[in-house]
Structure 1
Amino acid sequence: MQFGIFSVGDVTPDPTNGREPTEHERITAMVTLALKAEEVGLDVFATGEHHNPPFVPSSPTTMLGYVAARTSRLVLSTATTLITTNDPVKIAEDYAMLQHLAGGRVDLMLGRGNTGPVYPWFGQDIRMGIPLAIENYALLHRLWREDVVDWEGRFRTPLQSFTSVPRPLDGVPPFVWHGSIRSPEIAEQAAYYGDGFFANHIFWPKEHTQRMVGLYRQRFEHYGHGRADQAIVGLGGQVFMRRRSQDAVSEFRPYFDNAPVYGHGPSLEEFTEQTPLTVGSPQQVIDRTLGFREYVGDYQRQLFLVDHAGLPLKTVLEQLDILGEEVVPVLRKEFAAARPAHVPDAPTHASLKVAAETVPVSR
C-alpha cells in the first residue's frame, strides 16, 4: 500500500499571529514537504492544480519536474489535474515529458475542480463539467495509446493524423486516478477504463464515501477488469497530531476555525465526528485510518493533507516526522497483514510495464 501527502497549496494567514506567507515562501515550502516526504519514508507526493487566489500551484508539472530532479524514489502525482479546462493534448504531452524526466515515477489524478470561475477563464462552461471530463479523457486515453489519432468531438477542434510527443516512457502511459467527491459519473468513468478511483474523503461522512467507492467497485467488475475487491482505490484525509490528543485539539482549533475550505461552519468536534478528519494522538490516527478499510474495503493509496489552513512549515514538518516514524510503519504492517493475496498493490510504472508486456491492452 502507498502512503503519502498531498497539498492544495493555499496561501492562508496563520490565525495565531496574522502572518501570511508570500507566494514564493509557499511554493518553496511545498517543495520542502515533498523532499521531507521522501526522507521520512513516504511513497507519494501530490500537488493540486489551482488558478486562483489563495492558491499557488497553477503549474503542477513544473513543480513535480523540479521535485523529480531532487528525489530518487518518491512517486509524483497530482491532486488534481483539471481534465475539464486543460486541453487533453497538452496534458498528454506535459505528463509524458514529466514521466521521462522522473524515470516513470509519475501518475496523475484527474478531476473537474471545485472553483466555478476557472471554467470561463479557460473558455469553458461549468454546466458542461461532466461532459467535458468524459470527452476530454476519452481523447487523452487515446493519445497515450495510439501513435496516430484522428479525433472529432464536441469541445475542441478536430485532430487529423496527430501524434502526441513525447510518447509515454516504455510505451506505458502514466497511471490515472479519477478523483471525485460527489459525482457518480466519475466513478463510472474510472470503472469503464479500469483506472483508479480516488475519493477525497475529507468533507463527507463515511456513508457517502462508502456508496461512491462501492459503485466504482461494482462497475469495475461489470466492465471485466477483475473482481470488485480488486479495483484500485485511493483515499484522502486530513490529520493533525500531537503526543497528547488534547494538545492536538487545542493547537489545531484556530487553524480549523479559520480554514478557507471548512472554517466558520461546524465546530471541530462536530466535523471530526461526522467526517474522517482526525485530530489527536498518533495512535488515534492509526486507529481511525485502519477503520477506513471497514467501509471501503482493501485499498491501495492513502494520502494525508497536513499543510492546509495556514499551519507554519515547522509544524507541518513535525507532522511528517510523526507520520514517518510512528504512524505509517504501523499502518503498512496492519494493512499488509489484512490484505488478501488476490488484491493488487497500487500500480507503478514497473508493474504496468510488466503487465503491458504480458497482457493485450483493451479499451
Structure 2
Amino acid sequence: MQFGVFSIGEVVPDPSTGRTPTDHERILAMTALALRAEDAGLDVFATGEHHNPPYVTSSPPVLLGYLAARTRRLILSTATTLVTTNDPVRVAEEYALLQHLAGGRLDLITGRGNTPNCYPWFGQDLRQGAALARENYALLHRLWREEDVDWQGRFRARLDGFTSVPRPLGGVPPFVWHGAVRSPETAERAAYYGDGFFADNLFGPADQCARLVELYRARYEEHGHGTAQQAVVGLGGQVFVRARSQDAVREFRPYFDRSRFHGGRYSLEECLARTPLAVGSPDQVIEKVLGFREVYGDYQRQLFAVDHSGLPAAVALEQVDVLGERIVPVLRRELAASRPPSVPPGPRHPATGP
C-alpha cells in the first residue's frame, strides 16, 4: 500500500489572514511539501496540471524533474496529465525522459481535467473531449511500446515510421492511472489497457466513485488482465488533523467555507459524512481511511490533499508530519494484516526495487 500527498497548486487567499501568496511562494511551498513527504516516510508526491488562474501547475514535467534531482526514494506522479489537450507525442517523450532522470520513480494519472476553457486554448473542441481522450491515449500507449509507429487519427498530424525518444527506462513504460470522478468511459479505458484506475474524488459522495471502481474491477477481469481483486486502484482524499478533533474542525472550518469546491454547497458536517474528507484527530482519520476499504475493496494507493483552500504552507507541512508519524504507520499495519495475498502491491518500476 502506497501513501502520499498531492497538490493542485491553487493560489488563493488564506481566509484567516486575507493574504494571498505569490506564485513564487506557492511553487516553493509545493516543492517543500514534496521534500517533507519523503522525509516523513511517505511514498508518493503528485502534482496537478492546470493552465489558468488560480493555479501555478502548468508544467508538471518541470516541477517533477526538479524534484527528481532533490529526492531519492519518493515516487513522483502527476495528479492529472491532460490527455485531451496535450500532444501524446510530447507526453511520451517528456515523461520517458523524466522517467530516466528519476530512476524509474515516475507514474502518471491521466484525465480530461475540469477546465472547459482549456480546450480552445490548445486548439481543441470541448465537444470532442471523450474522443480526444480515447484517441490520444491509444497513441501514447503505442508510442511507449512500439518503434516505427504508423498512425492516422482525427486530431493530430499522421505519423509514418515514428519512434519517440528516449525509449522508456529498461523498456518498461511509466505506470499509468486513469483518473475520474464520474466517467464510466474512463474506468472502461483503464480496464481495457490493464492500467490503474484512480478515483480522483475530492468532494463527491463516496458511493459515486465506488460504482466506477466496481465497474473497473469487473471489466479488468473481463478483459483478461487478472481477477477483479488484482485490479490496481488508487483513491484521492483530503485530510486535516489536529491532536483534538474539536480543534481540527474549528481551525479547518473557515478554509472549508471559502473553498471553491465546497463552500456554499454543503456544510462541513455533510461532507465529513458523505465524502472522503477527513477532519479530526489522528485516530478519527485512521478510522475513516480504514473504512475506505469497506467501500472500495483492497486498493494500492492513497493520496491526500493537505495544502488546499488557502491553507498556509507551514500548516500543510505539519499535516505531512502527522501523517508520517501518527497515521500512515498505523494504516500500513492494519491494512497489511488483513490484505489477501492475491492483492498486488502498489506499482513500482523494476529499476526502483521492492
TM-score (ref. length: structure 2) = 0.98
- 1:150-209 Cα offsets, whole Å, 9 max, x none, are 000111110011110111010110000000000000000000000000001222212212
Task: Please state how far the C-alpha of 1:267 moved relative to its aligned partner.
Answer: 1.2
**Alignment correspondent of 2:93:** 93
* Distance in 2 of aligned mates of 1:270 and 1:206: 12
Equivalent residue of 1:165, what SS?
A: coil
Structure 1 unmatched ranges of 5 or more: 355-363
Task: Please state how far the C-alpha of 1:272 moved relative to its aligned partner.
Answer: 1.2
Task: Please state how far the C-alpha of 1:210 moved relative to its aligned partner.
Answer: 1.4
**Alignment correspondent of 1:152:** 152
Question: What is the CA RMSD across the aligned residues, in angstroms?
Answer: 1.2
**Alignment correspondent of 2:284:** 284
**Alignment correspondent of 1:129:** 129
* Structure 1: 4+ residue segments shifted above 3 A: 351-354
Task: Please state how far the C-alpha of 1:265 moved relative to its aligned partner.
Answer: 1.8
* Distance in 1 of aligned mates of 2:348 and 2:289: 23
- 1:64-83 Cα offsets, whole Å, 9 max, x none, are 00001000000000010000
Conservation of the 8 A alpha-carbon contact between 2:103 and 2:352: no
**Alignment correspondent of 2:195:** 195
* Distance in 1 of aligned mates of 2:122 and 2:345: 37
- 1:30-78 Cα offsets, whole Å, 9 max, x none, are 0000000000000000000000000001000000000010000000000
Equivalent residue of 2:144, what SS?
A: helix
Question: Structure 1 351/180 Cα, relative in aligned 2: closer, same or farther at 3 Å?
Answer: farther
**Alignment correspondent of 1:359:** none
**Alignment correspondent of 1:322:** 322
1:99-110 map, 5 Å: 99-110=99-110
- 1:27 pairs with 2:18: no
- The letter of the residue matching 1:54 is P
Conservation of the 8 A alpha-carbon contact between 2:201 and 2:276: yes
Equivalent residue of 1:308, what SS?
A: coil
**Alignment correspondent of 2:308:** 308
**Alignment correspondent of 1:59:** 59
Identity of aligned residues (%): 68
**Alignment correspondent of 2:218:** 218
- 1:268 pairs with 2:268: yes
Equivalent residue of 1:145, what SS?
A: coil
Task: Please state how far the C-alpha of 1:300 moved relative to its aligned partner.
Answer: 0.1
Equivalent residue of 2:13, what SS?
A: coil
Equivalent residue of 1:237, what SS?
A: coil
* Distance in 2 of aligned mates of 1:115 and 1:350: 35
**Alignment correspondent of 2:39:** 39
**Alignment correspondent of 1:6:** 6
- 1:68-110 Cα offsets, whole Å, 9 max, x none, are 1000000000010000000000000000000000000000000
Structure 2 unmatched ranges of 5 or more: none
**Alignment correspondent of 1:207:** 207
* Distance in 2 of aligned mates of 1:186 and 1:148: 28
1:343-362 map, 5 Å: 343-350=343-350
* Distance in 1 of aligned mates of 2:52 and 2:338: 42
Count of residues paired in the alignment: 354
* Distance in 2 of aligned mates of 1:246 and 1:84: 43
- 1:225-270 Cα offsets, whole Å, 9 max, x none, are 0000110000000010100000000000000101122222211111
Conservation of the 8 A alpha-carbon contact between 1:172 and 1:353: no
Equivalent residue of 1:150, what SS?
A: strand
* Distance in 1 of aligned mates of 2:139 and 2:196: 18
